[in-house]
Structure 1
Amino acid sequence: MPVDLDRSALRQFLLGLAQGMNASAESVDRIRDTVTTVAEAYGADDTDFVVLPTIIIVETGDDEDSRVAIRSATNASFRFDQIAALYELIAQARTASVSPLDGIRRLNEIGAMRPRLGWVTRTFGHAVLTTGLALLLAPTWQGAIVAFALGAGIGLLKLVRSPTLQLIMPIAAAFVCAAAVFLLAEVIEIGDPIRLLIAPLVTFLPGGVLTTATVELASGQMISGASRLVYGFVQLALLAFGILAAGTVVGVESRTYEPLEVASSLPWWVALIGILVFALGNYLHFSAPASTFGWVLLALIVAYAGQCVGAALLGPLVGGFVGAVAMAVVVFWIGSLRHGTPVQITFLPAFWLLVPGAAGLVGLTEAVATDGGLADFMEALVSVMSIALGVLIGTALYRVVHHGAEEIVQFAVAVPTAVTDAVQPRLWERLLPWRRRRADAP
């Protein structure tokens, strides 16, 4: 570490980077790898880290002169514009092109960033993304209209920043949406009521949390993975409780909680419109930078196409596996491009499109309300596991291909250089006697 570098500022900077990545829904192993790379860039090779979902510890110095900094990670979540700004700062920190003090100031600015879009646009965006997902899950025009109205209401509810309301938000949202859907199902044809409920509740579903937890458990991060897994199931339980409470108040029968096989009356291209609308809704609701829309749309198309192919070849239970593999490869490729976008901005919408949390919510609701729902809940767990395994394999596949391509390029550059280095001395040795004879000639 350079002698003029403030170790205390560097510790705080590393803590802030880790906390920001945690708010971006990154896994702890990727957070640790990133902050380790940043620390090495600043010459702090003696830095060690402990990264958990709720606490971050950074130690710098050797045994005789070590210093420890601890920060409690809050349950905050970044919007897409904040994620983009954070990863731009991380890119600078990887090359030590920003001082730790300037980095801390920039982190504070990112945390206090005001949304790029106004509250009306963001509320409309939540309604739009809800409509797009409804066109994929319960493809009826009536269901899409209901989903738009419910999505707008939930979008308004999410604008309230009361800590008390945030605690009961999942239950309140599930109760309001379920009561509205159950009452409307008696009057108009909206398709499958339970699957239609998923659309307005999608931003509350812990699909990404459950998938990240499974990935962390598979990679050996037992504490983090187990805690995320429990947190995800608690979120599902809160949503299921809100749905069941609404069903009790409205007075629905237990078979209402069973998913219905409703044949879609809409043409096949409506699914493509649903993907486009879903991408637009994510762009508006999360105030994403303008340059990210095309990349998010590409990731969604790849995830949906992979899921459809997987369902046709392997069955719907593990259809998400193929979609997750294809999606992981594509989002990491996008993240590696010079003018690409951070991985998390494309990952999160694709997670919601694969909807592992939706399957878990349907299964858990059935398990409580009906006799045969436990089997469906276990199938939902298998679906989550298949998607998590797909993410693992897709990530590994990308790294193999990416590093393999780098090695091929290095080999292609190294071989001519080695040949030149080997041939040039011998050629010079052969030419040297000839040059001497020519110099001695009269």
Structure 2
Amino acid sequence: MPITPTPPERPGAEGDAQQAPVDDPAVLRTFLLGLAEGMTASQESVDRIRADVVQIARAYGLDDVDLVVLPTIAFVQTGRGDTARVALKSVQATFRFDQIAEMGRLLREAREAAISPGDGIRRLNEIGAMPPTRHWFMRTLGHAMLTAGLALLLAPSWQAAVVGFVLGALIGVAKLVRSQTLTLVLPIVASFVCALIVFLLAPYVELGDPLRVLIAPLATFLPGALLTTGVRELAAGQMVAGTSRLGAGLVQLGLLAFGILTAGTVVGVGNEDYLPLDASTTLPWWVAGIGLALYGLGNYLHFAAPGRSYGWVLLALVVAYGAQQLGALAFGSAVSGLIGALVVTPFVLWIEDLRRGGVPSQMIFLPAFWVLVPGASGLVGVTEGAVAASAGIADFSAAFVTVMSISLGVLIGSALYRFMRRSAQELSEFHIDLPTVLAPSDEPVLSRIAEATTTRSSRRRDEERREGEHRDGR
């Protein structure tokens, strides 16, 4: 979906605005608004969007700038008092990983003012209109692999992986249809169809916990990152954005649970069938590695990620999953999300800051969030709460604690990384200028000392001569 920034507030067509000089405040304001819109479509948090856009504005020499960003709208103000101008834009697009990568390149250039605002506007529209870099078949296959890998992590059985692969392929095909109406109803339809198939197969195929199997094909609809980002924004003081994200995430969970309960009613599932079950078979521990590899490859194909990103995504998944498992063993499941987020957040931010081969953090954070599965626990809690109030309240409370712990881990990890990066920059900026005599040179030290001494003597004689001429003149 193309990004169409608000045209500059002066007569003329859009093409004329793009040809305006760099110091044109209207073009620069439009460029800043487009960057805010693009970062919002990249699912970046509003506090970071504001910090980055203000930094970019200062790089272009604009200090009087203010920015208000909400999940679906952005305001940019330039100037103060009578000269103040405000531009706004609603945000409807959601970027794929290939678009997020291009957006990251543009942001790096903009932070150094290495691109003119007019060219930046053209780049933003090109990014918004980019066709997917993967064929539709590869994206569908990627969604199926993503689902199969996640099924091996959540409900470890080969039967669950096969069922998840088939359901993931069906949903992958449905997501290819570009329709605003279908996008709104697809979560309910997908949860209903998947639940109907799983409940019909459960008496004949050993799937373990049916709800856990259902979570895998519905993973890309789960609002885990939405809930976690909302709590993080609340902690950062962005109450409007954080509250709206939390509300949207809870509604999304309710829609998914409604589709599952509707399918259960059609099939005739009893209340006890919604309660969590233990898998009858246990796979070896190394199967989790296969699940992570399939899950990472599925994300890489389905979201059309750049080629160099798969290795980083897989490594971040291993770090997040490993830290979470170690946290569960050491401190319990309630704190495992905090440990996983605390470890993976600095790692992801370090990857993003690499000069060569860096990857935008959103491309790694989103798959890691789905591995930490805060939304999955919430879906189980909401579904159980509709049929068994006591169990649902307990599970939903556990899901809320999981979301809070992951958000806290992200906050602490981000703060630690910024502190370490700032300290490293201060060390790298420590520098003492050597005197001219001792500064590096190809000339011998004795020659430079003699030359410096001669220069000082000549300077002293010139000063004495000028003083004598001044006295004689008086």
TM above 0.5, one fold? yes
Indicate the larger mover: 160-169 or 212-221.
160-169
- Find the residue that maps to 1:369 and give its secondary structure: coil
In the TM superposition, 1:40-439 aligns within 5 A as 40-74=58-92, 76-262=93-279, 264-338=281-355, 339-372=357-390, 373-411=392-430, 414=431, 417=432, 420-421=434-435
Distance 2:436 2:236 in 1: 45
Equivalent AA in structure 2 for residue 153 of structure 1: L
Equivalent AA in structure 1 for residue 37 of structure 2: Q
Distance 2:347 2:39 in 1: 21
C-alpha deviation, 1:236, in angstroms: 0.4
Q: Deviations over 1:75-94 (max 9, x none)?
A: x2110000000110111111
- Find the residue that maps to 2:76 and give its secondary structure: strand
Over 3 Å counting, the alpha-carbon distance change for 1:371 and 1:66 in structure 2 is closer
- TM-score scaled by length of structure 1: 0.93
Distance 2:315 2:268 in 1: 43
In the TM superposition, 1:33-44 aligns within 5 A as 33-44=51-62
C-alpha deviation, 1:435, in angstroms: 6.2
Equivalent AA in structure 2 for residue 8 of structure 1: A
Overall identity of the aligned pairs, in %: 58
Equivalent AA in structure 2 for residue 379 of structure 1: A
Equivalent AA in structure 1 for residue 113 of structure 2: A
- Find the residue that maps to 2:86 and give its secondary structure: strand
Q: Deviations over 1:226-272 (max 9, x none)?
A: 11110100000000100111110110011111111225421111000
**Which residues of structure 2 form unaligned runs of 5+?**
1-19, 440-444, 458-474
Q: Deviations over 1:118-167 (max 9, x none)?
A: 11110110000000000000010011000000000000111111211111
- Find the residue that maps to 2:75 and give its secondary structure: strand
- Find the residue that maps to 2:77 and give its secondary structure: strand
**Which residues of structure 1 form unaligned runs of 5+?**
none
C-alpha deviation, 1:422, in angstroms: 11
Contact 2:74 2:91 in 1 (8 A): yes
Distance 2:438 2:136 in 1: 69
Equivalent AA in structure 1 for residue 337 of structure 2: G
C-alpha deviation, 1:409, in angstroms: 2.5
Equivalent AA in structure 1 for residue 123 of structure 2: R
- Find the residue that maps to 1:290 and give its secondary structure: coil
- Find the residue that maps to 2:177 and give its secondary structure: coil
CA RMSD for the aligned pairs? 2.1
C-alpha deviation, 1:424, in angstroms: 6.3
Distance 1:391 1:6 in 2: 39
2:15 is matched with which residue? none
Distance 2:24 2:271 in 1: 64
Distance 2:306 2:68 in 1: 32
Indicate the larger mover: 136-145 or 402-411.
402-411
- TM-score scaled by length of structure 2: 0.87
- Find the residue that maps to 1:68 and give its secondary structure: strand
Over 3 Å counting, the alpha-carbon distance change for 1:141 and 1:423 in structure 2 is same
Distance 1:176 1:374 in 2: 26
- Find the residue that maps to 1:260 and give its secondary structure: coil
Residue 18 of structure 2 corresponds to residue 25 of structure 1: no
